[in-house]
Structure 1
Amino acid sequence: MTAVADTNQHYDLDPDIFGQFLDPLRKYSAARYDAEHDTLESAQRNKLRFVADRLGLRGGERLLDVGCGWGSLILYMASELGCRTTGISPAPRQHGYIAEQAAARGVAELVETKVGHFERLDLPARGFDAVTLLGSIVHMPDPDEVFRRAKTVLRRGGTLYVSESCFRNTATRTAFDDRDGTGFVREDIFGFGELRPLSELIAAAENAGFSITSVDDLTDDYRRTIADWIANVDAAAARIDAHGPGLAAKLRHYLEIANAGWGYTTKHYALVCRNAR
């Protein structure tokens, strides 16, 4: 198994940096643009509704978000649907921010977070109706273990939602996995990240015993999301650089690399699985 740091260096940056270029919910994954005039903020809310729909959430469910980031999903599901939510992240700075936001929104009793890694935390067997991994399995070295673990914590009939950026096929992964741009994103930005073809994620899901219920191609949505992030980085460059000279340029370079490959080397998919038995 590939060794990874206890926390991901990118996500443990000062929360203010992310507030400069993300939407107000600080959702750091693909949005969903339903109309040409959608703003980044409205598109991220569209995406959260999309996730709720794919999971079949109606209200009051127990939801586990693996790699919860700044809490956009768990805060939204608690506030809008009254779900009892648990978020997992190894980045300590994110947990204080989520607790503050939950208190401010009056949903502190519905939102909890755990510091650590999904594969190692003590979680109740069949304790959740839904599990989500939005852009987080890329930072986890063993997808088979992740899907097996997700199945153990889901109730019978529960649903798993995984959205992830993937190499478009195995041949492309072989050709681009050791390129300079790939190495920069993996090592200089994140510390660890492993893009895989969608086929590997589907195989891991099937091997764990899940039934695949849908696959959505969100590549164009992520392309537009990152374009909006880049525009925000440019507008806030001076404030971002206050946290470290050249940080805005480094962040822009990362986002440009991410947006250069869509449809050519990389795709972004939403995979939904049911724990049928």
Structure 2
Amino acid sequence: MTVTADTNQHYDLDPELFGEFLDPLRKYSSALYHADTDTLEQAQRQKLRFVADRLAVRGGERLLDIGCGWGSLVVFMAEEFGCTTLGVSPAPRQHEYIALRAATAGVADLVRTEVGHFEHMTLPERHFDAVTMLGSIVHMPDPVAVLRRARAALRRGGHLYLSESCFRNAAARTAFDANDGTEFVREDIFGWGDLRPLSELVAAAEDAGFSIIAVDDLTEHYRRTIEDWIGNVDAAAERIDTHGTGMADKLRHYLEVANAGWGYTTKHYALTCRRAR
């Protein structure tokens, strides 16, 4: 299969739209809640620290983020841990924003980004201490090939953190991959994407040569994250609609569709893998 999404279609929209419903870091993936009173911003920072812990980041590592979004992870890792970070994204509008954020945070010398698809980039082998893929492999048609490239970029003993929403099993994929809600997200929001069962991602990581050292079920955390996003959409509906008539309703519908299946048809998992040899 050669089909790929040029970008998550969301990212072709005005960057300021995302500031209306995401946290101040503009992290567009699951947060991690420790308490009922946690705010979205607190939970997103807790999630980034969780990722750092899973990657065994202690300070000064070289990190590659595949599908870097609005730069929350690359800037955070540079600012909090002094990591030298490279973010990869096919969405041109994100890179200027990330450069500005890095400069504002005083870490412009540690944060670099490249526009393009990871599958087609030439990167140094055995160079990075850590690789992250938060919600990006769904847009890549050959997960084994992608994970082999990620492994090649890692030094021996380096870690990969991969998180993705998944069908809860192969039967759910067969039953729901072509339903109206899935097609709406694929056609109106994301562009091409292939939601897979966890078993396929585990097999792909193993076939790529990784040792899997942790699997975390973050489903409930993503459900709560999206609830917080919906609340922000409702609070900012008038401002969101300045980006396009009916934009708030469309965005709310997308988030409701995403939240409807958790635990029934879909789950959200994080895999931590190690290049052991």
For normalisation by structure 2, the TM-score amounts to 0.99
Partner of 1:32: 32
Equivalent residue for 1:84?
84
- How many angstroms apart in 1 are the aligned matches of 2:40 and 2:5? 31
For residues 5 and 271 of structure 1, the distance between their equivalents in structure 2, rounded to whole angstroms, comes to 23
Q: CA deviation at 1:147?
A: 0.7
Q: What is the aligned partner in structure 2 of residue 227 from structure 1?
A: 227
CA distance in 1, matches of 2:237, 2:194: 28
- State the 1:127 CA deviation: 1.1
| Matched position secondary structure for 1:109 | coil
Structure 1 residue 7 displacement after superposition: 2.8
Structure 2 distance, partners of 1:86, 1:57, is 15
- 1:261 lines up with 2:261 in the alignment: yes
Are 2:7 and 2:190, in contact at CA under 8 Å, matched by a contact in 1? no
The structural deviation recorded for 1:166 is 0.2
SS in 2 for 1:161: strand
Residue 167 of structure 1: aligned partner: 167
Q: Name the SS for the 1:206 alignment partner.
A: helix
Larger CA deviation: 138-147 vs 44-53 = 138-147
2:222 is matched by which residue type in structure 1? Answer: Y
Query: Partner letter of residue 92 of structure 1?
Result: P
**Is residue 131 from structure 1 mapped to residue 141 from structure 2 by the alignment?**
no
Distance 2:143 2:68 in 1: 17
Q: CA deviation at 1:2?
A: 4.4
CA displacement 1:215-234 (0-9 Å, x = unmatched): 00000000000000000001
Deviations 1:54-104 (A, max 9, x none): 000000000000000000000000000000000000000000000001111
Moved more, 53-62 or 190-199: 190-199
Q: CA deviation at 1:207?
A: 0.3
Letter of the structure 1 residue corresponding to residue 241 of structure 2: D
Which runs of 4 or more aligned residues in structure 1 lie more than 4 Å from their structure 2 counterparts after TM superposition? none
**What pairs up with 1:95-114 in 2 under 5 angstroms?**
95-114=95-114
Q: Is the 8 A contact 1:126 1:156 kept in 2?
A: yes
> RMSD over aligned Cα, in angstroms?
0.7
Tell me how far apart the structure 1 counterparts of residues 2 and 190 of structure 2 sit (CA, whole Å): 14
Q: Residue by residue, what CA displacement relative to the aligned partner does 1:92-141 show, whole Å, maximum 9, x if unpaired?
A: 00000000011111100000000000110111111100000001111111
Cα deviation 1:34-68 (Å, max 9, x = unaligned): 11100000000000000000000000000000000
Residue 4 of structure 2 is matched in structure 1 by 4
- 1:5 and 1:265 mapped to 2: Cα distance? 24
TM-score between both structures, scaled by the size of structure 1: 0.99
Q: Specify the alignment match of 1:43 in structure 2.
A: 43
**Residue aligning to 2:176:** 176
Identity of aligned residues (%): 75
Greater Cα offset, 101-110 or 5-14: 5-14
Structure 2 letter corresponding to 1:256 = E
Aligned pair count reads 277
Structure 2: any 5+ residue segments left out of the alignment?
none
Deviations for 1:8-40, whole angstroms, at most 9, x for unmatched residues? 321221111100000000000000001110000
